[in-house]
Structure 1
Amino acid sequence: MRKLLNTIYVTNELAYLWLDGENLVCKIENENKLRIPFDNVENIVCFNYIGCSPALMGKCVGKSIPINFVSPQGKFLAKVCGETKGNVFLRVAQIDCFREQGLVLAQNTMAAKFCNTRQVIKRTLHDNSNLRGDAEIQRTLSILEEGVDKLFQAENMESVIGIEGNCAQSYFSIFGKLITNQKAPFTFELRTKHPPLDPVNAILSFVYTLFTNEFAAALETVGLDSYIGFCHALRSGRSSLACDLVEEARCIVERFVLTLLNLQIVGEEDFEKQISGAVWLNEDGRKKVLARWQEKKRTDMMHPYLKQKIPLGLLPYVQSNLLAKYVRGDITEYPCYLMK
């Protein structure tokens, strides 16, 4: 079992990271603000513009610590990581497996996504009896259930993507109703991504990006190529396989965001609106979300396949390892994550 260490998030846009012996040092305006031993670091996510010293990047490469560069608004820019040391035969097997079983993997992944999405809705209904008779919510639950059946009747990837799009549209049409705290200052009408046009979309996009980066790092750890996926189209610079695997775990992000909103952990003061209409988390907002996300990752969960408790932060590594076992032929089917 992989030990869960710390992910370092650098949120100050003026921060500069440099190397001092066996320590990572964060400097802001020529003053050292933070010093952390490398043994306590697993991953680095930088939201700054100044960057890192070449010596630090070289040290991280040698210790297999990825450095992810993300814009202050949460858009993934690039990742620095070392030479891929995974078994070359595993990567060849990955390509062959995805060519032969890509449709089955996509069907199972999207089916898990729909089932998990239903669980997110049902949890809200369990806590809010006044929503149980809502016709739109019940219709969405039916569409998601029917979507699972349609997936396994699909004969090609285009059909799977079409079914997923229809279910996602229905789900996000009622997502705003899951924000049940009447005092929450935010509403949600539709999913907007590039760029997000309201605070709820801004938080969703931000945490989706974080989780996808964690899946990408996990895939590299087990020796799989995170850029070669089975569902998302191949695109230069995009971790398509990480995008595939995060689909089954999006429910965790969505439930997390709903908790932030319903408990009023974030407010209007945590966002900034651009002239273009884009809405982003500001520095204080990012700090609030990141602090809660790190707490969330330390909570224990019962893994449905392993039948044992693991920290939620290990889920990307467990799923990546299970996928690698499937690609190698050690198990006959890849067990997608299902929320209980």
Structure 2
Amino acid sequence: MRHLLNTLYVMTQGAYLHIEGETLVVEIERQKRLQVPLHHLGGVVIFGDIMVSPAALHRCADDGRGVVLLDRRGQFKARLEGPLSGNILLRQAQHRAAAAQALELARGVVAGKLRNARQIVLRGARDSGNDADQEALRHSGRLLAGHIRRLPNEETLNGVRGVEGDGARVYFAAIRHLIRPDARAVFSFERRSRRPPLDRFNALISFLYTLLVHDCRSAVESVGLDAQLGFLHAVRPGRPALALDLMEEFRPLADRLALTLINRGQLTEKDFELRPGGAVYLAENGRKTVLSAYQQRKQEEVSHALLQQPTPFGLLPHIQARLLARVLRGDMESYLPFLIR
């Protein structure tokens, strides 16, 4: 299926991408290093100073294959894409829902995020061999359950956003108890920081969130929805609000991947670089490790409650985007987020 096609990540500075027949070629110092059939590619993500031929850009646009530009540290810069596809009637329904159903849809998005965050915390409590960590994680789980119960009573979008913000603070406060004790000095984590990230764990999850929002944007656009018109996230020029809405339920899964990489020792202090002013970013080797693990995770199968069959993780954003489209068309009563079991 097209949705399970690979994303090509190009990180080597000075590389050159061009079309050769029905393939995309990556050259480094005039030497061909990679040649990929176009029909195997769902998207291209390039980091830093990398050149792409006009013919390659045109072909990607014609095929509906997004090309995402990031700086060397993985910060988003731009996205190149072809004409918006999809049914205008669906986008009209999306715009009507932004006025009439935004509160209900935002509740579903936040409920999915908090429920998945709670599952991560409780699983950590079960797996931990430290009594203090177990109790802290169980306490966080109880607090998150209380935040989930509050959601149906919130009658405004700001109220729902407030519950989401409070729940996120509880969850992030619990993260340090999920990190292997002997790795906590290197991967100390007190609170979420971004633009720039101020510690290694923040640098890691910021990078993973960048990859995740790319996949979620591709998913919503693949079903014909407008990526910039969301329900939970406020609309701003150039902001993919709907993609950010969709990725909320998947953020805890990205965090779990980050914890796996740390706790298995796949990432160490040398995989990060500190910048003047306190900013911390993944170094090149660290980014390669994360990209490899992320691509592998997308191929792993998970259980989806509605499909009742094993589903590759990489397909989940596309499934959820289709479920959202069905709600907007009136074919489903309410949006059901993906829930970790």
The corresponding residue for 1:191 is 192
Summarize the Cα distance change of 1:133–1:30 in structure 2 as closer, same or farther, 3 Å threshold.
Answer: closer
CA distance in 2, matches of 1:133, 1:10: 39
The corresponding residue for 2:79 is 79
Give the aligned residue type for 1:216: R
Tell me by how many angstroms 1:148 deviates: 1.0
The corresponding residue for 2:10 is 10
CA contact (8 A) 1:60 1:67 kept: yes
The corresponding residue for 1:126 is 126
The corresponding residue for 1:231 is 232
Per-residue deviation, residues 190-226 of structure 1 (Å, max 9, x unmatched): 1111110111111100001101110000111110111
Summarize the Cα distance change of 1:125–1:84 in structure 2 as closer, same or farther, 3 Å threshold.
Answer: same
1:165 match: secondary structure: helix
Give the aligned residue type for 2:14: L
The corresponding residue for 1:93 is 93
CA distance in 2, matches of 1:115, 1:129: 24
The corresponding residue for 1:330 is 331
CA distance in 2, matches of 1:246, 1:313: 12
1:187 match: secondary structure: coil
Per-residue deviation, residues 18-39 of structure 1 (Å, max 9, x unmatched): 1222111112222222111101
CA contact (8 A) 1:113 1:250 kept: yes
2:245 match: secondary structure: helix
The answer to whether the aligner puts 1:302 opposite 2:303 as a matched pair is yes
Per-residue deviation, residues 136-162 of structure 1 (Å, max 9, x unmatched): 433322221111121111111111111
CA distance in 1, matches of 2:231, 2:51: 33
CA distance in 2, matches of 1:178, 1:133: 8
2:311 match: secondary structure: strand
The corresponding residue for 1:319 is 320
CA distance in 2, matches of 1:125, 1:42: 38
CA distance in 2, matches of 1:113, 1:250: 7
CA distance in 2, matches of 1:163, 1:38: 44
The answer to whether the aligner puts 1:290 opposite 2:301 as a matched pair is no
The corresponding residue for 2:214 is 213
The answer to whether the aligner puts 1:41 opposite 2:41 as a matched pair is yes
The answer to whether the aligner puts 1:164 opposite 2:164 as a matched pair is yes
Per-residue deviation, residues 253-299 of structure 1 (Å, max 9, x unmatched): 01111100100101111111111211111111100000011111111
The corresponding residue for 2:107 is 107
CA distance in 2, matches of 1:177, 1:331: 39
CA contact (8 A) 1:297 1:313 kept: yes
Tell me by how many angstroms 1:129 deviates: 3.9
Summarize the Cα distance change of 1:133–1:51 in structure 2 as closer, same or farther, 3 Å threshold.
Answer: closer
CA distance in 1, matches of 2:328, 2:213: 21
CA distance in 2, matches of 1:336, 1:173: 24
The corresponding residue for 1:55 is 55
- For structure 2, which runs of at least 5 residues remain unmatched after alignment? none
Further displaced range: 8-17 or 212-221: 8-17
Tell me by how many angstroms 1:330 deviates: 1.4
1:182 match: secondary structure: helix
Further displaced range: 46-55 or 212-221: 46-55
Give the aligned residue type for 1:293: Y
CA contact (8 A) 1:181 1:262 kept: no
RMSD: 1.5
Kindly tell me the number of residue pairs found equivalent between the two proteins: 340
CA contact (8 A) 1:136 1:174 kept: yes
The corresponding residue for 1:150 is 150
Tell me by how many angstroms 1:181 deviates: 4.6
CA distance in 1, matches of 2:303, 2:135: 33
Further displaced range: 218-227 or 9-18: 9-18
When normalised by structure 2's length, the TM-score is 0.96
Work out the percentage of aligned pairs sharing the same amino acid.
39
2:153 match: secondary structure: coil
- For structure 1, which runs of at least 5 residues remain unmatched after alignment? none
CA distance in 1, matches of 2:212, 2:183: 28
Summarize the Cα distance change of 1:104–1:254 in structure 2 as closer, same or farther, 3 Å threshold.
Answer: same
CA contact (8 A) 2:121 2:138 kept: no
Per-residue deviation, residues 277-332 of structure 1 (Å, max 9, x unmatched): 11111111100000011111111111112111111100111111111111111111
The corresponding residue for 1:243 is 244
CA contact (8 A) 1:125 1:132 kept: no
CA distance in 2, matches of 1:79, 1:192: 24
The corresponding residue for 1:67 is 67
1:25 match: secondary structure: strand
Give the aligned residue type for 2:164: E
